[in-house]
Structure 1
């Protein structure tokens, strides 16, 4: 009986992953097909400036709802989940307004600190980008709440397809930095509106909405998850800011292409598995705590098997692929991709199971580990920024150390819970 139940958990989990992975493959193909066209329209320096803007939007976007969006999935009752959703909208609106005011009065100081002085004149783009980023995240977690994995996968395809298509359309009209940003927010807006009605209809607000009680109930999300995710995103975006500081905007453009070709496709799959794992792991933990360990083990094994083939392809064939598709002008991208592939592999096999700390209410462990990773990566990269190659190897080695330690902590905590509940 136990074996049948565990098999059902595993089979349901990977069936849902398969649903989302199909859309991920489509999204990756869209990116691969459109990138050669986009790189012909936009110069490396324009793409580099755009990469810097997107990195800053990502850093603030992931904390724009104070991570309350993750709590949409957790409650057993829909009326509580609906209150969490409204709380997310209030948090997002407040955050973007405060961010706008902060950048209005101190944009020069903040952007100089991030080595993004070339964005000072367009600082207002950041809170706008964060707003659309946050809305899209709320929609995705709302769809996951009701296990609408097909709709979740379609939302991702809509976002990628519309963004990439609009980049080409706007590039034909006027290939500029603003054109790229308009494509970014339009892509998020289209995908958000396409699934807004579906996600909100599935979670009906209660007549007696007690927002403060909900905020208090899930207070660990803003207090632990928010700084943790902020530190983690900043840590992952460190190469962008180091390149902006010690190299040129053109070099950032080469990195954008490398990032689009390797990190984004693998992140799309990793994020898909992350969302399904979070939903299934929350359900499993609420039903039978000891089964969470088995779900973690089976997921990790599958991730390793999925991650090895692209690692070998990108590591050994990057130079050939870039030269064949993009030409000699982008040769630096191929060199970057070799090293980035190693980092992407370790991140791929770790990120999806990162929500385990949240599920078992051990966000403090995750926060401390993430903060240490930020410090470790920063100081190692600071000492090895003499060349692009040494900078990326420094990032890769420090990342590998962090992800291995992360897995060790998750393994030990979940195995202890499994033993305690036998």
Structure 2
């Protein structure tokens, strides 16, 4: 609801400027914790020190980002870039707190936080935008919506081993998983940054709004499914019990059923939906929704299971997949532009590329779980 209202007061160019900052911040959010919060699910009794170390590493990563963004603003960049470092850290808090709730199998609390975040971001951006519809206002809405994740992180800093001891025990994992996370985040956010570079902030704004209307709602369900899969499969791995493959087969089928109807609807009626709800200047976002319905479906079914490769100790397999995804997605956007093709043509190639990319991911997860002795 609030996304529609937000689109009514922000134009595509302004939204594109915010989308560029959000994309760059999201790249660093993905790597800022070195995926130590995921590591906790695969090792019994190490969750609290790993969660704490993840938060400390995220704070360290945020410091140079703050310095560089301040320099950029002093050199003439828009003030919205000052929000990059705070967005990185609060996004990292969300990752760690989510992992903590999953470890404790507190799925209702996780769902409540996700709902509060989604509702408060749109409402905050809309209310502030009534007074000042600027890209910085959108960034403030992002920060405010994630404050809900701060509650409960204090327990991670009580009665735990020294940070250096924890780091020495897990640094090899952190290097591989951190590199993988960086490539993973870059592959996910590079399209927005490339669109800004080779097209304009207007196209980036239309693309980002398409993500918010189509991909983000699906991602909320996907994150919940991913958190559940990490919690359940992680428990089976720690206890060396069978059943992981059966769980993934059932969960992926349920996701396919849940995602099919909304993707079909936007596939046929995307332009009409966007124009009716948000106005004519956002019709392009509806066209992109229709084009991306195929890719969004593939991503929705497979992406929730990616972090299982870290849980079962197959971080290098995830690294290889992320590299392939990064190269194919970058090429899907950049090559059509280089050969003079239209923006919508590039997004069409990008959408179709999701099918083999996420099919490969499911194959890797299935194979990796088989290697730890799970049943066929």
TM superposition score normalised by structure 1 = 0.82
Cα offset for 1:220? Answer: 4.4
Whether 1:55 and 2:23 are equivalent positions in the alignment is: yes
Q: C-alpha offsets along residues 238-262 of structure 1, whole Å, 9 cap, x if unaligned?
A: 3212221222222222222211110
In the alignment, which residue of structure 2 is the partner of 1:97? 63
Structure 2: 5+ residue stretches without partners: none
1:73/1:392 CA distance change after superposition, 3 Å: same
5 Å-filtered alignment, 1:401-416, equals 401-416=356-371
Task: Please give the alpha-carbon distance, in whole angstroms, between the structure 2 residues aligned to 1:362 and 1:118.
Answer: 44
Task: Please give the alpha-carbon distance, in whole angstroms, between the structure 1 residues aligned to 2:325 and 2:62.
Answer: 27
Task: Please give the alpha-carbon distance, in whole angstroms, between the structure 2 residues aligned to 1:118 and 1:333.
Answer: 30
TM superposition score normalised by structure 2 = 0.92
2:149 to 180, 188, 192: 192
5 Å-filtered alignment, 1:132-143, equals 132-143=90-101
Cα offset for 1:279? Answer: 0.8
Whether 1:82 and 2:35 are equivalent positions in the alignment is: no
1:158 to 100, 116, 140: 116
Cα offset for 1:88? Answer: 1.7
1:305/1:315 CA distance change after superposition, 3 Å: same
Structure 1: 5+ residue stretches without partners: 1-32, 109-116
1:237 to 181, 185, 189: 189
1:380/1:179 CA distance change after superposition, 3 Å: closer
1:316/1:182 CA distance change after superposition, 3 Å: same
Whether 1:350 and 2:308 are equivalent positions in the alignment is: no
Cα offset for 1:168? Answer: 1.5
In the alignment, which residue of structure 1 is the partner of 2:10? 42
Q: C-alpha offsets along residues 119-161 of structure 1, whole Å, 9 cap, x if unaligned?
A: 4654322112111111222222122221111111111122122
Cα offset for 1:313? Answer: 1.1
Whether 1:73 and 2:25 are equivalent positions in the alignment is: no
5 Å-filtered alignment, 1:6-405, equals 33-77=1-45, 80-104=46-70, 107=72, 119=77, 122-189=80-147, 191-193=148-150, 196-197=151-152, 200-201=154-155, 205-206=158-159, 209-385=161-337, 386-405=341-360
Task: Please give the alpha-carbon distance, in whole angstroms, between the structure 2 residues aligned to 1:118 and 1:314.
Answer: 40
1:122/1:332 CA distance change after superposition, 3 Å: closer
CA contact (8 A) 2:38 2:99 kept: yes
Task: Please give the alpha-carbon distance, in whole angstroms, between the structure 1 residues aligned to 2:272 and 2:173.
Answer: 44
CA contact (8 A) 2:18 2:80 kept: no
CA contact (8 A) 1:60 1:230 kept: yes
In the alignment, which residue of structure 2 is the partner of 1:26? none
CA contact (8 A) 1:163 1:187 kept: yes
Cα offset for 1:102? Answer: 4.2
Cα offset for 1:263? Answer: 0.5
CA contact (8 A) 1:235 1:373 kept: yes
Give the secondary structure class of the aligned counterpart of 1:273.
helix
Give the secondary structure class of the aligned counterpart of 1:62.
helix
Task: Please give the alpha-carbon distance, in whole angstroms, between the structure 2 residues aligned to 1:118 and 1:339.
Answer: 36
Aligned residues: 372
Q: Which moved more, 1:125-134 or 1:371-380?
A: 371-380
Q: C-alpha offsets along residues 78-124 of structure 1, whole Å, 9 cap, x if unaligned?
A: xx32211221221111111132234456x49xxxxxxxx98465432
Cα offset for 1:219? Answer: 2.8
Task: Please give the alpha-carbon distance, in whole angstroms, between the structure 2 residues aligned to 1:178 and 1:238.
Answer: 21
The alignment's C-alpha RMSD in Å is: 2.2
CA contact (8 A) 1:142 1:200 kept: no
CA contact (8 A) 2:266 2:290 kept: yes
CA contact (8 A) 1:350 1:403 kept: yes
